[in-house]
């Protein structure tokens, strides 16, 4: 298959390789069906970015891309790359501006038939209680800079200490909701200022809080372990580190770009600016990025608490009757130090996941004890008009993708094109016809995020399922959503 002049060699039904050539240090590998590739990758530049990433110093095995691949800053969205700790680099382009953008999923004891007549009231309460939109603030009182630094160190533990969740939530959050080496002193005053009143806020764009019904179960055993029951109501929360994370990325891009030049890296794209992981610049970015990741985990924890309160408010029931429990929280914009097998050797590497989700297998000590017999939950939201999926990680993911999988549907239309296509349409009525109640800060967001703007997430998920990287567990159908 040839796309935009780039030859892709077929390795299996949904796995393609760009052979190593020129200054590439490793081959590129893309998990995607031929149909999806021919439809979505023409004139996108994402394949060129996979090639560019393969030039990074110290990159291990492959420059990888998941089936939700599309053009991004430096790395493609859906890109994964692992770099050697001694000779390798860290690149902000491999994380993105929204550091630790991620998803958490909570279950309830409520059945759809019980909820359906009050869904509009529930969505109204969620929209009232969870601040949304650009610059949204005010979920909890504005924090002092000193208190904000505690958030950056403690992550979601801060919310638990402040009675904004249950202690068990920590057990079901990736990294227990805290990266231990985060250092708020590496974070600029401007970033702190942007974050002090954004704890517990959803933001804008593709971020959302969504009420779903479990529509289909593919793996009964694993679904039971995760607490997923057909026709029961679940809640998805998708957001990240807000203005604080954006500012940290912006601050360090300047520093890393200067460092990249100083270290004499000759890379095909300046957006791949990087620094040795062991350099001062690399270490400073890593601990600042970890602080932003902790902010994001705490942000989703607080939003989950606000969502639970909205349910209690709507249905006038006790917490035990509601049964609001966290399944898992995963991040999909991050760089983390992990152990992986490279050839015959197991060694620590820096795994960049940009629009990609960790997908660790059964037996991994990095996932909750409750899930070790089945594997890590992998949460894959789709668009607000169709469906989302819960999958589970596999051993093959550890062997082939550094324990990584897709993170969502991936955009099919730019926001500008989506706005153009939305003209003359009543998107609210279209969603209502599909059984989805929506509230948003403005119609522009609804237009930019309309279902047509995204690939069909079932096609994305099926690629990973058929290749054995993840296995499908359940399909979720949206019935209500709030957006910024």
Residue 130 pLDDT? 94
pLDDT score at 24: 97
Listing DSSP states for 264-324 in one string gives T---S-GGG--EETTSHHHHHHHHHHHHHHHHHHHHHHHHHHHHHHHHHHHHT--HHHH--
Q: At CA 211, angle to CA 465 and CA 125, rounded to 5? A: 160
- E strand segments, 71-147: 77-84, 89-90, 102-111
Distances in whole angstroms, Cα of residue 77 to Cα of each of 92, 97, 293, 406, 411: 13, 12, 18, 10, 10
Nearest residue to 378 (alpha-carbon basis) of 472, 291, 313: 472
DSSP assignment string, 226-256: HT--TTEEEEEEEE--HHHHHHHHHHHHHHH
pLDDT of residue 424: 84
- Which of 342, 266, 268 lies closest to 86 in space, CA to CA? 342
According to the model, what pLDDT value does residue 442 have? 82
The pLDDT of residue 414: 85
**Local structure of residue 467 (DSSP, 8 states):** T
Q: What is the dihedral of CA 117, 119, 124, 129, to 10 degrees?
A: 120
Predicted structure pTM score: 0.96
463 contacts 33 by C-beta, under 8 angstroms: yes
What are phi and psi for residue 315, nearest 5 degrees? Answer: -100, 0
- Supply the residues annotated as catalytic: 407
Angle (CA) 146-150-153 rounded to 5° is 135
Q: What confidence score (pLDDT) does residue 134 get?
A: 76
Q: What's the pLDDT at 411?
A: 85
Q: How far is CA 60 from CA 64, 68, 81, 215, 347, in A?
A: 10, 22, 7, 40, 11
What is the pLDDT, as a whole number, of residue 139?
81
- What b/e readout covers 353-387, taking b as 16+ CB neighbours within 10 angstroms? bbbbbbbbbbebeebbeebbebbbbbbbbbbbbbb
User: Encoding tokens for residue 151?
Assistant: 């958030």
pLDDT along the chain (484 residues), means of 10: 93 98 97 94 92 98 97 96 97 97 98 97 96 79 93 98 96 97 96 95 91 98 98 98 97 95 94 97 98 98 98 97 98 97 95 98 97 98 95 98 96 88 88 92 87 92 98 98 90
> Distance between alpha carbon 38 and the CA centroid of its chain, in Å?
25
């Amino acid at each position: 298959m040839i796309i935009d002049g780039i030859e892709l060699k077929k390795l299996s039904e949904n796995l393609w390789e760009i052979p190593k050539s020129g200054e590439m240090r490793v081959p590129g590998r893309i998990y995607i069906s031929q149909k999806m590739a021919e439809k979505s990758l023409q004139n996108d530049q994402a394949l060129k970015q996979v090639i560019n990433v393969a030039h990074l110093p110290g990159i291990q095995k492959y420059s990888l891309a998941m089936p939700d691949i599309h053009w991004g800053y430096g790395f493609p969205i859906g890109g994964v790359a692992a770099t050697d700790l001694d000779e390798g680099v860290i690149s902000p382009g491999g994380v993105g501006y929204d550091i630790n953008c991620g998803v958490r999923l909570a279950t309830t004891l409520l059945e759809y038939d019980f909820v359906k007549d009050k869904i509009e009231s529930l969505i109204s309460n969620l929209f009232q209680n969870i601040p949304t939109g650009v610059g949204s603030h005010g979920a909890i009182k504005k924090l002092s800079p000193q208190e904000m630094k505690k958030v950056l160190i403690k992550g979601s533990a801060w919310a638990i200490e402040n009675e904004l969740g249950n202690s068990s939530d920590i057990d079901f959050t990736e990294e227990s909701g805290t990266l231990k080496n985060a250092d708020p002193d590496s974070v600029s005053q401007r970033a702190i200022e942007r974050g002090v009143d954004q704890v517990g806020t959803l933001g804008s764009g593709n971020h959302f809080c969504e009420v779903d019904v479990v529509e289909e179960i593919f793996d009964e055993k694993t679904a039971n372990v995760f607490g997923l029951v057909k026709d029961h109501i679940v809640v998805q929360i998708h957001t990240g580190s807000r203005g604080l994370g954006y500012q940290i990325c912006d601050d360090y891009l300047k520093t890393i770009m200067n460092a990249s030049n100083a270290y004499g890296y000759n890379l095909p794209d300046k957006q791949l600016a990087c620094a040795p992981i062991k350099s001062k610049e690399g270490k400073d970015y890593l601990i600042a990025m970890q602080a932003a990741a902790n902010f994001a985990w705490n942000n989703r924890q607080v939003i989950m608490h606000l969502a639970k309160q909205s349910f209690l408010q709507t249905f006038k029931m006790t917490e035990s009757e509601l049964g609001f429990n966290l399944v898992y929280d995963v991040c999909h914009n991050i760089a983390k130090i992990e152990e992986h097998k490279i050839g015959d050797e197991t060694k620590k590497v820096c795994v960049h996941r940009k629009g990609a989700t960790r997908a660790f297998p059964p037996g991994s000590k990095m996932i909750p004890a409750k899930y070790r017999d089945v594997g890590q939950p992998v949460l894959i939201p789709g668009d607000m008009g169709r469906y989302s999926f819960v999958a589970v990680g596999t051993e093959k993911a550890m062997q082939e993708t550094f324990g990584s999988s897709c993170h969502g549907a991936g955009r099919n239309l730019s926001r500008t094109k989506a706005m153009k296509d939305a003209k003359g349409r009543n998107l609210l009525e279209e969603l209502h016809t599909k059984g989805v109640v929506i509230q948003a800060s403005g119609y522009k967001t609804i237009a930019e995020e309309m279902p047509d703007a995204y690939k069909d997430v079932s096609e994305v998920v099926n690629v990973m399922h058929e290749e054995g990287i993840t296995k499908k567990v359940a399909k979720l159908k949206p019935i209500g959503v709030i957006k910024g």
